[in-house]
Structure 1
Amino acid sequence: MSVPQDYLATPPPRRFRFPLRTVLIVIGVFLVVVLAALGAYAYGLSASFDSAKRFEKSFPAEADRPAATDDASQNILLIGSDAGGPGSDPGEVEGTRSDTMMVIHVSGDRESVHVMSLMKDSWVEIPGHGQDRLNTALVLGGVPLAVQTVEGVLDARIDRVASVDFEGFAGITDALGGVQVNNEVPFRSFDKGPITLNGKQALEYVRETDSFTDGDIQRLRNQQAFVKGLMAKFLSAETLTNPGKITELMSAATPYLEVDSGFSSGYAVGLGFELRNLRMDDVTFFTLPVIGPADHGGEVAIDVDWNQVAVVRDHFREDTLDEYRPVAQP
C-alpha cells in the first residue's frame, strides 16, 4: 500500500467527529466473552445467538487475502452502522457507510485481548478503487471489500466479522442495570466524579461535543471512560453469575447484530470458554496510528501514520500486541 504523498503543512480546519457508535461496537467484545463463565449453560443461549442475521457474503476471494497464520490468535472485525435493527433484512448493511470499525485481536494463548479502533475518515487504499476514506469501502463493495481494505491496512487476516446497529445501545446499557463512569469534565446534567448512567443518559454522554472547548477530543475521552465502565460492569461477578441478566443482555443485543456464517454460538461459546479467565486488566484499547487531517485533492481526510502502522502490522502478524506501546495521537 502506498503512503499518501500530498500531506499539507497546515491542514484546513475541520472538526472531525469521532464515531457515535464506538461504545456499542465494544458489545462485540462481550459477544466473544459473554459466555465465558457460564459453562454448559451457555449452550442454552445458542438459539438466541444463532437468530442473529447473517451476511450474504463476508470475505473477499482467497487470492486477495493475507495468508493465515500458524498461531491460534483470532482477529474479529466489528463494524458500526446505521443499518440493521429489528425487522431489517440480512445484508442491509451493504451500501451504507460504516460509522466506525474496530479489530479485536484475541491472543493465541487467550491471555489478552486488544481492541484497535480505525478512524472512519482514515485515508487508505480501497482495493480496486484507489485511495479514499476508510468508511467508503462498505459503500463500494459491501462487507467483503471492507474486510479486504482492513486486511490491506494491517497485512493480517480477519477471521470473523460482525456488524452492530446503534439502536440497540440503550437497551444493552439498561440490561446491565446502568454503567458507572468517572466523569472528568462536568457538563449539562453530568457532575464531575463517579456517575451512573442509564441507557438514555449514556447516549447523551457519549454524543456530547459542543459543551467542551476541545470538542471531539473530550468526547472520545468520555467514550473511552464509558467503555471501561461498561466492560467492568459486564465482567463483574454480579453480571457473569446471573443467568437472567445474561439472557436479558443477549436478547437486547441479538436483534441488532449481523455476523458472518462462521460466527455461530458454537464459535462464541468455544472462544468464550477459552477466555474464561479474562479480566479488565487483560483488555487493551488503542487506535490505528494517524498523523491528522489533510487535503487530498479537495477531500479532507485523516492521514495514517504508515511508519507506526508498520510496527502495528508486525505485532499483529507475530501475535505480540502485548509488547506494543501506542504513540500519542493528535
Structure 2
Amino acid sequence: MPPLRTGPMISSVTMATRSRLGESLSPTDSIPGKRFTSKSSRCICLPAADSDRHDTIGAASGSPGASSIQTRERHQVDLRDDAPAEQPTTAKSHRAAVPGLVRRHPALTVLCLLALVLVIGVGSWLFVLNNRIGDIPRFEADFDREDRPERVQPAGALNVLLVGVDGRGDDVRERIQDGETGILSDTMMIWHLSEDHQTSQVVSVPRDSWVDVPGHGQAKINAAFSWGGPELLVETLEDTLDIYIDHVAIVDFEGFRDITETLGGVEIEMADGSTENLEGEEALAYVRERKSLPRGDFDRINRQQNFLRQVLWDITRTGTRSNPVTMTNLIGDLSKLLLLDDDFDDGEIRSLGLEIVRKGAGEIDWMTVPTDGTGTSADGQSIVNLDVERARELFEAISKDEFEEYRKDNPVDFLPKKGEVL
C-alpha cells in the first residue's frame, strides 16, 4: 500500500500553486493560445504519483513526489517570458489560505476526507488479512488426473468449490486433514471470479443430486465427499458438469455462530415482511432448516445463499471494514471455520479477500444449477435429477466469463431478492 499523503503536505503544494497563479497571472492575463482564470487555482486534492513508484508528496524540495508535482505546476505558469520569480509560501500564508478554501469548497473537503477514511479502512483490513492468512489451515490435495476437463477460464479467473460440512461440535477440519472418511458435505457451491475481478457467480449444487460417483456407481453427490473426501468430490463434479475446479474451500457450519456474534447478529428480511436479527444458534438453525420448507433442499439452498449474501453486505459496510478490531475478530473467526487446499496460495486468497471488501455482495450473481425435477432412486432415496446438458452449458459460459451473454438467452434459477426468500 503506498504511503498516505497527509493534508498539510498536499495543502502546502496547493497553496504554492495558488500563490504562483494568483500573483503571476490575473484573470484577464492571456498568452497566445492560452487563457488563465482564477478557477485554475481551485484545487484541493492533487493527483497521486504513479502507484508503481510509490512517491510520497513531501514538504522537502528534494522528495520525488514534491519534485514531480512542482514540475507539473511550473509547466502551467512559466509559459510567459516575463513571469516573476516564484515566491515561497510561508507558514502564515498557508494557515490563512486553507480556511478560505474549506469555506468555498466544503463538498470537496468532505470528499477528500471520505476518500482518506476509505483508504484507511481498506488498509486496516489488508493489514489484518496479511497477518492472519497463515492462520487458515490447509489440507493436502491432489486433483490432477489424466482425464480431467480442460481449463477454459482465462488466466486470472478462478473456480472455487465451497463445501459446507456440519461437524456439530467436532473439529471436522482436523478429521479431513487426517484423511478421515464418512463426513457428509451438506452444501456445495461453485464460486467463479472473473478475470478482471469485476463480477462473480455462485452456483449451488443440491446435495441430493443423483450422479455417477467414480468407482462407486450412481449415488447422491454428497456421498462422494463421504467416500473419498475433497478429491473424489472434485472428480465427481468435474466429470458431471465438465468444469475445471481450481481450488477447494471447506467451511464448517459451526463457525458461522462466531461470525454472527462478532457482527452483532445478521438481519434477515423474511418473506412475511418482518426482519429478524439472527445470531448464534438461531443463525445455524436458519441455514440448516429443510424439512419444514415447501421445496425442501431447494429452499434451504436459497436460505444459505441469502444468509451469505447478507453476511457479505454486513462485512463490507464501511463502519465494519474500517474498524481494525472488528476486522481482526472477523478474520479470526474465518480462520476457525475455513480449511483450504494446500495449493491455494496467499496471493490468490488476498486477491479474493480484497475483492470481497471492494465489491461486497452487490456484484455477485447467486443461482442454483439447472435441474430436471425430483424423483426416487431404485433403492427408495429421494433424489434431484440434474439437467446435465444445461448445467454444462451454464458452467462453460461462467468459466469463460461469458455469463452475461448466456443469461440473455437462457433461463437461470436466480436467488430471490431480499424479503422473498422463504
TM interval, shorter chain, is 0.7 to 0.9
Q: How does 1:133-282 map to 2 (within 5 A)?
A: 133-185=220-272, 192-208=273-289, 219-273=300-354, 277-282=358-363
Match of 1:320 in 2: 402
Pick the aligned partner of 1:42 from 111, 120, 126. Answer: 126
- Measure, in 1, the Cα distance between the counterparts of 2:295 and 2:395: 31
Stretches of structure 2 that go unaligned for 5 or more consecutive residues are 1-120, 415-422
Decide whether the 8 Å contact of 1:137 with 1:145 is kept in 2: yes
- The amino acid across from 2:149 in the alignment is P
- Looking at secondary structure, tell me which structure has more helix per residue: 2
State whether structure 2 residue 192 is matched by structure 1 residue 105: yes
- The amino acid across from 1:45 in the alignment is L
1:47: Cα distance to partner? 4.5
Decide whether the 8 Å contact of 2:136 with 2:336 is kept in 1: yes
Distance 1:256 1:317, change over 3 A: closer
Match of 2:148 in 1: 65
1:212: Cα distance to partner? 5.4
SS of 1:100's equivalent? Answer: strand
Decide whether the 8 Å contact of 2:173 with 2:252 is kept in 1: no
| Higher RCO (CA-CA < 8 Å; seq separation 6+) | 1
Decide whether the 8 Å contact of 1:120 with 1:135 is kept in 2: yes
SS of 1:88's equivalent? Answer: helix
Match of 1:295 in 2: 376
Match of 2:137 in 1: 53
- Measure, in 2, the Cα distance between the counterparts of 1:198 and 1:248: 16
Moved more, 208-217 or 142-151: 208-217
- Measure, in 2, the Cα distance between the counterparts of 1:286 and 1:321: 12
Match of 2:177 in 1: 91
1:175: Cα distance to partner? 1.2
Match of 2:391 in 1: 309
- Measure, in 1, the Cα distance between the counterparts of 2:166 and 2:285: 17
Moved more, 162-171 or 40-49: 40-49
Q: How many residues align?
A: 286
- Measure, in 2, the Cα distance between the counterparts of 1:87 and 1:260: 12
Moved more, 239-248 or 62-71: 62-71
SS of 2:202's equivalent? Answer: strand
Please give the TM-score of this superposition, normalised by the length of structure 1.
0.76
Q: Percent identity?
A: 34
- Measure, in 2, the Cα distance between the counterparts of 1:280 and 1:164: 18
Match of 1:75 in 2: 159
- The amino acid across from 1:305 in the alignment is D
State whether structure 2 residue 375 is matched by structure 1 residue 284: no
1:291: Cα distance to partner? 1.8
1:225: Cα distance to partner? 3.5
1:105: Cα distance to partner? 0.4
- Measure, in 1, the Cα distance between the counterparts of 2:291 and 2:229: 33
Stretches of structure 1 that go unaligned for 5 or more consecutive residues are 1-36, 186-191
Decide whether the 8 Å contact of 2:173 with 2:339 is kept in 1: no
Decide whether the 8 Å contact of 2:266 with 2:311 is kept in 1: yes
Distance 1:182 1:44, change over 3 A: closer
- The amino acid across from 1:282 in the alignment is E
Match of 2:219 in 1: 132
Distance 1:97 1:47, change over 3 A: same
Please give the TM-score of this superposition, normalised by the length of structure 2.
0.61
Decide whether the 8 Å contact of 1:54 with 1:90 is kept in 2: no
- Measure, in 2, the Cα distance between the counterparts of 1:139 and 1:87: 14
Decide whether the 8 Å contact of 1:123 with 1:304 is kept in 2: yes
State which structure, 1 or 2, has the greater radius of gyration over its C-alpha atoms. Answer: 2
Q: CA RMSD in A?
A: 2.7
1:76: Cα distance to partner? 0.4
Decide whether the 8 Å contact of 2:192 with 2:399 is kept in 1: no
Decide whether the 8 Å contact of 1:98 with 1:135 is kept in 2: yes
- Measure, in 2, the Cα distance between the counterparts of 1:140 and 1:86: 15
- Measure, in 2, the Cα distance between the counterparts of 1:298 and 1:274: 45
1:226: Cα distance to partner? 2.7
SS of 1:281's equivalent? Answer: coil
Distance 1:213 1:77, change over 3 A: closer
- Measure, in 2, the Cα distance between the counterparts of 1:295 and 1:211: 20
- The amino acid across from 2:386 in the alignment is V
- Measure, in 2, the Cα distance between the counterparts of 1:310 and 1:219: 23
Decide whether the 8 Å contact of 2:165 with 2:251 is kept in 1: yes
SS of 2:185's equivalent? Answer: coil
